[in-house]
């Protein structure tokens, strides 16, 4: 690992000031950044340890809409085990527990989880081409090993997927990311936080260089009774998703009043299925209903040499998750 300077500021303002210098990166849990630094994928000159900032709380906030605010430094394990999260946002708790290992969840923070980089092998191997790591060098995965890669929203520049489970649940739950920077505080809708690769796969998200994530805010909802996170992977635990589905239904008298669907392992960001959500509204929460939406869900999907199996696995996972959420599995 290359040498770097290390600072541990105690105020938000010092963190923001430090971020204005190029080569500066924030470290929170470090579970992905230290890994990337060991691989030589990232080599910051300076690390700003933000663990002294008071951003660990998980709290219920009364307002026009009741929300739950989760501090950016709350640990993945802390959120997953939190009584209020388990009761009111069980989908988030499930998704968190499906990710990484118990050890890593004790290190990884909510903010860091959103900022983690893709695990595409071409991104991780500094000897290989990758437009995300080294813009203009090409995408090795396009014609190479692409079993784990995207089927939605990809570009010729990048077909990598976002690795987070937590983010898939937050996308389904219409979370908001609260950030603070030189220009002050702003709120980014979750769907706008992560980017599609387009011509700039080096940019994972829309956070400005001087900005720091402070909270993730989730509006309260009627989905707690009928939500489910289903992750399909190569081994039973501790592996990244081939595909995963976060499904939240509001069911009244056997009819779907409202639905939220996001999937992981299929795109450069958690992928929302707005058309499917619309199509489910008003329909009976039945196996028949769910099995009919597979085709709609897969519109626009495009596979590569090694990941064509995702064209079948994705709708199958989605239907299975919907059945679990509706408690008819």
Distance of alpha carbon 62 from the chain centroid: 26
Q: Cβ closer to other proteins: 97 or 227?
A: 97
Burial of 135 (0-12, 13-18, 19+ CB in 10 A): middle
Rounded CA-CA distance 262/194 in Å is 13
Give residues in contact with other proteins (CB under 8 A). Answer: 1-6, 8, 27, 30-31, 34-35, 37-39, 45-47, 49, 51, 77, 100-104, 106-107, 236-238
CB of residue 21 to other proteins, shortest distance in Å: 12
Alpha-carbon distances of 9 from 13, 15, 17, 182, rounded to whole Å:
9, 6, 10, 16
Q: Cβ closer to other proteins: 119 or 283?
A: 119
Q: Per-residue b/e over 144-165, b at no fewer than 16 CB within 10 Å?
A: bebebbbbbbbbebbbbbbbbb
User: How many Cα atoms within 13 Å fall on the side-chain side of residue 78?
Assistant: 17
Q: Cβ closer to other proteins: 2 or 305?
A: 2
Q: Identify whether the C-beta of residue 146 lies closer than 8 Å to the C-beta of residue 159.
A: yes
Q: Cβ closer to other proteins: 136 or 235?
A: 235
Rounded CA-CA distance 177/160 in Å is 23
Q: Cβ closer to other proteins: 189 or 329?
A: 329
CB of residue 327 to other proteins, shortest distance in Å: 20
CB of residue 137 to other proteins, shortest distance in Å: 23
CB of residue 242 to other proteins, shortest distance in Å: 17
CB of residue 132 to other proteins, shortest distance in Å: 19
């Amino acid at each position: 690992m290359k040498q770097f300077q290390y600072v541990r500021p105690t105020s938000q303002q010092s963190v923001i000031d430090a971020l204005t210098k190029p080569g500066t990166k924030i470290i929170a849990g470090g579970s992905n950044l230290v890994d990337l630094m060991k691989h030589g994928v990232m080599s910051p000159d300076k690390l700003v340890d933000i663990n002294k900032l008071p951003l660990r709380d998980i709290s219920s906030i009364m307002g026009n809409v009741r929300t739950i605010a989760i501090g950016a430094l709350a640990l993945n394990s802390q959120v997953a085990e939190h009584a209020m999260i388990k009761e009111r946002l069980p989908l988030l708790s499930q998704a968190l527990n499906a990710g990484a290992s118990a050890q890593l969840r004790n290190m990884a923070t909510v903010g860091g989880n959103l900022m983690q980089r893709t695990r595409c092998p071409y991104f991780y191997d500094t000897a290989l081409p990758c437009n995300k790591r080294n813009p203009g060098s090409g995408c090795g995965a396009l014609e190479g090993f692409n079993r784990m890669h995207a089927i939605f929203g990809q570009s010729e520049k990048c077909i990598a997927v976002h690795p987070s489970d937590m983010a898939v649940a937050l996308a389904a739950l219409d979370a908001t990311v609260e950030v603070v920077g030189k220009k002050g505080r702003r709120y980014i809708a979750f769907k706008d936080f992560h980017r599609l690769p387009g011509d700039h796969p080096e940019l994972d998200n829309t956070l400005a260089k001087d900005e720091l994530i402070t909270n993730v805010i989730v509006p309260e909802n009627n989905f707690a009774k009928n939500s489910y996170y289903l992750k399909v992977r190569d081994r039973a635990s501790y592996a990244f998703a081939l595909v995963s589905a976060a499904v939240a239904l509001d069911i009244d008298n056997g009819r779907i009043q409202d639905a939220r669907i996001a999937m992981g392992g299929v795109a450069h960001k958690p992928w929302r299925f707005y058309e499917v959500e619309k199509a489910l509204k008003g329909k009976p929460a039945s196996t028949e209903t769910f099995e009919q939406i597979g085709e709609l869900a897969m519109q626009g999907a495009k596979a590569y040499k090694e990941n064509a199996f995702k064209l079948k696995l994705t709708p199958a996972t989605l239907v299975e998750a919907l059945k679990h959420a509706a408690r008819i599995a």
